[in-house]
Amino acid sequence: MKRIKSPVRYRFSAFIAFCKCLNREYRWLYQNRYLRMDANLELDDKRRREFHIDRYEFAAEFLSKHLGQNSFVLDAACGTGYGSNILKRCRSVRLLGVDICPQAVEYARKTYSQDGCDFLCTDVTRFEGIDPQSFDAAVSFETIEHLDQPIAFLEKIHSLLKPGGLLIISTPNKWGITKYHKVDYDYNSFKKDLGRFFTVDKMFVQNSGSMDLSVNRGSERRLVPDDLGIRDTAECFIAVAHKGKK
């Protein structure tokens, strides 16, 4: 008997075939969408894309209120550069996006490079070729948990910031150790590691609102100031911190 494909399976197979016909960059984006998506493209679930965009828009708004004109901002582990583009368009700042993946940096340069916004391929635990105390602020989202040396990463970010420089950084809340997540932070451990090098000024809770994901813990889409009553249901934590002026 001839096997008939289900409509869902057929549509999925057709979509995969379609993706193979696209250019090399879009093929790469689709294959790597879980680690280095371009959240402006509909290659992943809408809730997940909004989840990433929300935190970059939060950072852009915060920095626009606290940085002066022509400040220099670092986007550490910028991926495909869509977040760097959000940071750049919200205020007249200079911006450098850094990522270890050559394909991601190549895509970012082609898609999001503009006057005052450039991209560099380097390891975020070393930042080779970048001088100490270069930046007025640094942003790093969903990065630290992927690193074998998270403390070295924080120490290096600290060295790259000018005295009084700002750091906005996020990490998942108790997602567990996986193939990609080397560290499993909760509220206290995240704040403790940040406190080795920075003064933590404010913590925020973020949820995607993806009700089919257990790590969302049944919460609505939100990015709000931390409160003891909602801390345990956070999908991610975002910290705003600063480097001491001495």
pLDDT, position 5 = 44
Residue 40 tokens, joined: 């402006």
Q: What number is the average pLDDT over the span 19-30?
A: 66
In the block, tokens 């895509």 appear at 107
**How far is residue 175's CA from residue 163's CA, in Å, rounded to a whole number?**
33
pLDDT, position 246 = 65
pLDDT, position 2 = 44
Q: What number is the average pLDDT over the span 145-166?
A: 97
Q: What is the pLDDT of residues 185-208, one digit of tens each?
A: 999 999 999 999 999 999 999 999
pLDDT, position 22 = 57
* Higher pLDDT pick, 131 / 6: 131
pLDDT averaged over every residue in the chain: 88
**How far is residue 103's CA from residue 27's CA, in Å, rounded to a whole number?**
12
Q: What number is the average pLDDT over the span 64-88?
A: 94
Q: What is the pLDDT of residues 79-126, one digit of tens each?
A: 999 999 999 977 678 999 999 999 999 999 999 999 999 999 999 999
**Residue 179: which residues within 8 A CB-CB, separation 6 or more?**
none
* Higher pLDDT pick, 37 / 186: 186
- Please check the confidence at residue 232 and state whether its pLDDT lies above 90: yes
Q: What is the pLDDT of residues 162-183, one digit of tens each?
A: 999 999 999 999 999 988 899 9
pLDDT, position 216 = 87
The bridge status of strand 94-99 relative to strand 117-121 is parallel
pLDDT band at 43 (very low <50, low <70, confident <90, very high): confident
Residue 93 tokens, joined: 């700042």
pLDDT, position 23 = 64
pLDDT, position 16 = 52
**How far is residue 203's CA from residue 131's CA, in Å, rounded to a whole number?**
29
pLDDT, position 10 = 44
Q: Are 56 and 86 within 8 A, CB to CB?
A: yes
